[in-house]
Amino acid sequence: MNITIKYFGQIAEVTQKESEQLDFSEGSIAEVLDVLYCKYGTLKNKEFKIAQNQELVSENEKLTGAEIALLPPFSGG
Amino acid sequence: MSDKKPKNVFKEGAISSAFIGESIAKHQTKTSIGAHNIFLGQVRADVINGKTVSAIEYTAYEDMANKKFHEIRESAFEKFDMTCMHIYHSLGTVKAGEICLFVFVSSPRRKVVFDALEYIVEEIKAHVPVFGKEIFEDETHQWKVNS
Is residue B7 in some structural domain? Answer: no
Residue B4 has pLDDT above 80, yes or no: no
Is residue B80 in some structural domain? Answer: yes
**Predicted ipTM?**
0.94
Whether chain B has a CB inside 8 Å of the CB on A19: the answer is no
Angle between helices B110-127 and B62-79 (to 10 degrees): 150
DSSP B119: H
What's the pLDDT tens digit per position in A18-41? 999 999 888 899 999 999 999 999
CB-CB under 8 Å, A73 with B61: no
Domains of chain A: 2-71 (3.10.20.30)
CB-CB under 8 Å, A8 with B61: yes
What's the pLDDT tens digit per position in B51-70? 999 999 999 999 999 999 99
Q: Which residues pair with B42 in a beta bridge?
A: B99
Based on the structure, what is the number of domains in chain B? 1
Band (B1; pLDDT cuts 50, 70, 90): very low
The residue count for chain A: 77
Phi and psi at residue B2, in whole multiples of 5°? -80, 135
Is residue B76 in some structural domain? Answer: yes
CATH code of the domain covering residue B64: 3.90.1170.40
Is residue B6 in some structural domain? Answer: no
